[in-house]
Amino acid sequence: MASATFAAGCFWGVEAVFKALEGVLSTEVGYTGGQAENPNYELVCTGQSGHAEAVRIEFDPETISFEGLLESFWNLHDPTTLNRQGSDVGSQYRSAIFYHDERQKEAAEKSIALLDAADSFDNPIVTEIQPAEAFWPAEEYHQDYFAKNPGAAFCHI
């Protein structure tokens, strides 16, 4: 088993996409990359804590590689918009890869270089690549949000 952590806007939609991938064993939404200890949703929403809404993924690398997760990450959001995804605006919605080891860092850097070289997006990628730090699980009502709220509108990015 291995871990990966990604931020790509509203964590509800990000979690739903990753949760559906074969080889993803579990997902958890939460907050990472900020200064406050034990942040909550209200604090993170102010944009003052420095945290991003993120998804921590436990996956089976025999079934899906980190590179496979990266491919889904690039396809599920716009990595060229700074601190925003669709109508969600603020640093808490930034695009970021929080790597768990040097191999993940290198894979993320290589992936960005290849996408930029291929002009895969109309604008340059602004995704942050940062070491995984403390991950604070979000409140229970955010976990697996769409399964708990089947009538909720999906986050569009």
Does residue 10 have an active-site annotation? Answer: yes
Do 67 and 16 meet the contact criterion of CB atoms below 8 Å apart?
Answer: no
Nearest CA to 31 out of 116, 117, 64, 48 is that of 48
Smallest CA-to-CA distance from 112 within 127, 102, 123 is with 127
Spatial contact of 74 and 50, defined as CB atoms under 8 Å apart: no
Residue with the two structure tokens 């850097």? 109
- The catalytic residue among 4, 10, 97, 112 is 10
Q: Give the residue numbers marked as catalytic.
A: 10
